[in-house]
Structure 1
Amino acid sequence: MSDIPSHIKFHKQSQMLELCWQADCYQMSAEFLRVHSPSAEVRGHGVGNEVLQTGKKDVRILKLEPVGNYALKISFDDSHDSGLFNWSYLKQLAAEQAKFWQAYLDKLQAAGASREAKTIQFKSVD
């Protein structure tokens, strides 16, 4: 089976990217893709230098751009747009999504971190 998807569709309202390789179709959320970005910002510059992504639960995809015949560039609304998702990596993420997601949740828990974005609480002063 080729690494190039036979079908790509972005569901804007649900923020789900749908990829099919022949009869095998998968949907991945914007959050899942963002926290598994192949960029140096996420993966670091070597083994053990990965940066845990937190607060990305409500991240949205702004733009998808094909890069030649080998990758997809995804721009997110948190200004992250580096790292190219090559077809092979997207296929691996899709096929092993449950494993990748659980590992991410385990890392968040171990770090005492959250998927929720930090918000600033404002108080009005009289």
Structure 2
Amino acid sequence: MKRRDFLTLTAAAAFAPLTLRAAIADYAPGLVTKALENGETVFLDFKASWCSTCAAQERVINALLEENPAYDQSITFINVDWDEHGKSELAKSLRIPRRSTLVVLKGNQELGRIVAGTSVSDIKALMDTALSAATA
């Protein structure tokens, strides 16, 4: 094997794990509607950068995403900045009471929600509900 080929293959292998995880999208008007119209299962995370409960939820979500790649492959995750979109039509239509609210949607149905909860088992159950809907 040529040295250049070896270096190219080694570099590709080293960076491959970094590209496996899909990006979590940041909310923009119309994004949720478009995803739902495409038949996607959507996991919304209404959060604020200064919110400690939101940070705890994010740690749990990230850990679960690392444990089970099927979540990332099957579910569309969207972060909704509460400070910017807390009074948006999306938040009003879903009756989001506060930041640190997690909601799963499929089609025109809400499949579940957690408000201010940080329990690993509760968040995992919500993500499992989303995964079941996404793979059904």
Q: What TM-score, normalized to structure 1?
A: 0.28
Is the helix fraction higher in 1 or 2? 2
Query: Could you say which structure has the larger radius of gyration?
Result: 2
Q: Which has the higher strand share?
A: 1
TM-score of the aligned structures, taking structure 2 as reference length? 0.26
